[in-house]
Amino acid sequence: MLPCQAGQAGNKNLGPMTYLFPNPAVSPAKAAFLVNAARKKGPYPEAFKATLSHAGYVRAAKVISSWPGYAPTPLASLSTLAERLGVAAVHYKDEGGRFGLGSFKALGGAYAVFRLLAAELRRRDGSVDEAALAAGRLKEAARTVTVCCATDGNHGRSVAWGARMFGARAVIFLHASVSEGRAEAIRRYGAEVVRTSGNYDDSVREADRIAAANGWFVVSDTSYPGYTDVPRDVMQGYAVMVAEALGALDAPPSHVFIQGGVGGLAAAIIAHLWEAYGADMPAIVVVEPDKAACLYESARAGKPTAVAGDLDTVMAGMACGEPSLIAWPLLASGASAFMTIADQAALATMQLLASGAAGATIVGGESGVAGLAGLIAAAGQPDWRQALGLDSASRVLLFGSEGDTDPDLYARIVGRTGDAVRAGA
């Protein structure tokens, strides 16, 4: 691993930073950048297909596309920003409208609930009509099953929504830093919310303990020793988003900047792109908050590494201290680089998208804009640009993984509500 650090202040391609970040009071702070010298090249390794594969994506897409309200989310062109950054194109996959849940997590948690219920009903009854389950016609059978998870907000909302859609009971564990707005959004889907002490990783352990004591089923988006099957299904659901994006592009992306967290989303993107493009897969950069950078620290150490502390970051969806067990090998082998950004960079990027100055007006949430913030940071550093091969021919793909999932917080950060931004007010 080859580390380097620098501030985000720009090079000649960027022009005034006030153009990119209309509110100079929330200017981007320092970022950190680490080239992954361990990245493997060549075709997608057969060993990884047991975790994530095109065949698994096809199964997930068949189920997810049958759900009421399914439609591909939009892919916006940030053409003005691309010109300012000195690249050919920047495309932003806006997941804010996914199934009305506000984030890409709707694809993973709910799909894992479906897979878990199908397996449990098949175990009980010898067979199960999966089409009937997906359509919500087996709620009487499913109501005896309780699913639970720990969450920073979005995954729990997806699990609660999936449980309600298929008829199961849901109990969602939230640590102290999760806002009450996000808790209330989960309750609206009929789930019971349990508050826990400590950080996200502590809530994962508490959910596992309570589930074991009560015979409940954990639907976690992170994996740990002895628990890998359900997180694999969660990650496989995310591939639907990646396939939609590729189908909407005129040409393959050369670079992807993606949010970190426990690594499930980034691993799903790496797997899908690696299997699709082989040795020609895009350069993938994993971006995390500097206050919760377990993937960056794992890359620096060359092995999965936990980070301690309260993990207190405004990018709440990435307030994670431990990498996912099954995600990490894909990241270690497939990511081109790892980055960290400060909270201020995420806040400023939310304002940038809301202003329309990037070329499109988008409601992007605190965690959802991290990839874009990372791109802007990298584009402003000549040595980082060179390490990544970012140039005038580069086509960058970003996944805006959430919208205003906490509307009150979004309004405080941006100065307008998400509805006002969407309406152009």
Residues with a known catalytic role: 105, 152
* 3-state SS, residue 92: strand
Angle at 354 between CA 353 and CA 358, to 5 degrees: 35
- Residue 258: alpha-carbon gap to chain centroid: 7
Residues β-bridged to residue 150: 173
Rounded to the nearest 5 percent, the helix, strand and coil shares of the chain are 45, 15, 35
Q: What is the DSSP string of 324-359?
A: -TTTHHHHHHH-SEEEEE-HHHHHHHHHHHHHTTTS
Q: What is the dihedral of CA 301, 236, 259, 183, to 10 degrees?
A: -110
On the CB side of 198, CA atoms within 13 Å amount to 16
Instruction: For residues 97 and 223, give the distance between their C-alpha atoms in angstroms, rounded to a whole number.
Output: 27
Q: What is the DSSP string of 118-131?
A: HHHHHHHHS---HH
Sign of the Cα torsion 162, 164, 167, 170 reads: positive
Place of tokens 């997608």: 44
